[in-house]
Amino acid sequence: MKTKNERLLRRVIGLLSFVWFLLAFPAEAKKLKVVTTLSDFASLAQTIGRDRVDADSIAKGYQDPHFVEPKPSFVLKLHDADVLIVAGLELEIGYLPPLLDQARNEKIRPTGLGYLDASVGCDILDKPAGQVTRAMGDVHPYGNPHYWLDPSNGRVIARAIAAKLTALDPAGAADYARNLADFEAKLKAAEIRWAARLAPFKNTKIVTYHSSWPNFAKAFSLDVVGFLEPKPGIPPSPQHKLEIINLMREQKVPLILMEVYFDKKDPDFVASKTGATVVVIPPSVGGEPAAKDYLSLFDVDVEKIVSALEKSALEKRK
């Protein structure tokens, strides 16, 4: 009796393993592996691809995207990738070229089918006119690479991702189209929501730490009048802090906006001299736990800015 049961059990296990192998394994293997430099693109790719893709980013949302270390573990990620989505505009110049050279994966090289430069078709600001020299600091000669912080650029990127996924996985075309339409509908609703939240603060003057927010400011009608960094990539000097303090007093700037990865000491000092509020906001998905995807990133950022401005307006009235 015991042996009969055992035999039955073995057969059941064998059959289950076979079914698992047939069903689970090929389904797992079919998923497109998407590697992105920024977490924002990974979030968009996951939103568009859902269960047909596995998206992962190299940089984390709370790290400075200019200074990512070219770790060999990223080589392994890129080696197995079907799709690579980059910000372009030389944002990744310090780490991506050597990683790609070592990845031994032709598909995701700039000439490969799996390569997607997300900046194509986006509204790119701060393109330097005239001669570019490093006397201007660490400038990006092709324009400001923080363009994903404009939701309408997010729409362009999402469409490009859907097109890329469709090209690589035609069987999923209908899924990608449906997911994109779904995302665009949610984005449209969110844009109305964000605009309404920020409507009372239209054209508010702000100072930012690094020049990361021109697209964000344009999208949400904020006016960036200065930066804590004297030049991109150069930390605030005493002289420059003084200039910024004077400028903020003159123009009555209520807000200093900074990313989660900068030191808060200098912004706090300037704020203490000017009465402005320092708002630390995530510049990318995952920059803080609440910013879990592309849309909630803006929810978090908009909410933090609005509550700081409301508080500052309230104090002024007092």
Which residues of this chain interact with other proteins, rule CB under 8 A? 60, 62-64, 67, 69-73, 75-76, 79, 90, 93-95, 97-98, 101-102, 104, 106, 109-111, 134, 137-138, 142, 233-235, 260-263
Q: Measured between alpha carbons, how far is residue 183 from residues 48, 60, 74, 156, 164 in Å?
A: 8, 23, 29, 12, 16
**What are the tokens at 88?**
């372009």
Distance CA 293, CA 287 (A): 10
Residue 137 CB, nearest approach to other proteins (Å): 7
Residue 98 CB, nearest approach to other proteins (Å): 5
Instruction: Indicate the residue among 63 and 153 with the shorter CB distance to other proteins.
Output: 63
Residue 129 CB, nearest approach to other proteins (Å): 18
Three-state SS at 33:
strand
Instruction: Indicate the residue among 136 and 181 with the shorter CB distance to other proteins.
Output: 136
Instruction: Indicate the residue among 70 and 275 with the shorter CB distance to other proteins.
Output: 70
Residue 116 CB, nearest approach to other proteins (Å): 14
Give the DSSP letter of residue 120: T
Instruction: Indicate the residue among 1 and 129 with the shorter CB distance to other proteins.
Output: 129
Handedness of CA 291, 308, 183, 118 (dihedral sign): negative
What is the tally of helices (H) and strands (E) in the chain? 10, 8
Strand partners, 85: 36, 116
Handedness of CA 15, 19, 25, 26 (dihedral sign): positive
- AA identity, residue 52: R
Handedness of CA 294, 299, 302, 304 (dihedral sign): negative
Residue in the structure block whose two tokens are 């372009």:
88
Residue 238 CB, nearest approach to other proteins (Å): 15
Instruction: Indicate the residue among 137 and 275 with the shorter CB distance to other proteins.
Output: 137
Residue 283 CB, nearest approach to other proteins (Å): 12
Residue 235 CB, nearest approach to other proteins (Å): 5
Cβ contact 38:96 at 8 Å: no
Instruction: Indicate the residue among 104 and 318 with the shorter CB distance to other proteins.
Output: 104
Distance CA 295, CA 190 (A): 8
Instruction: Indicate the residue among 69 and 268 with the shorter CB distance to other proteins.
Output: 69
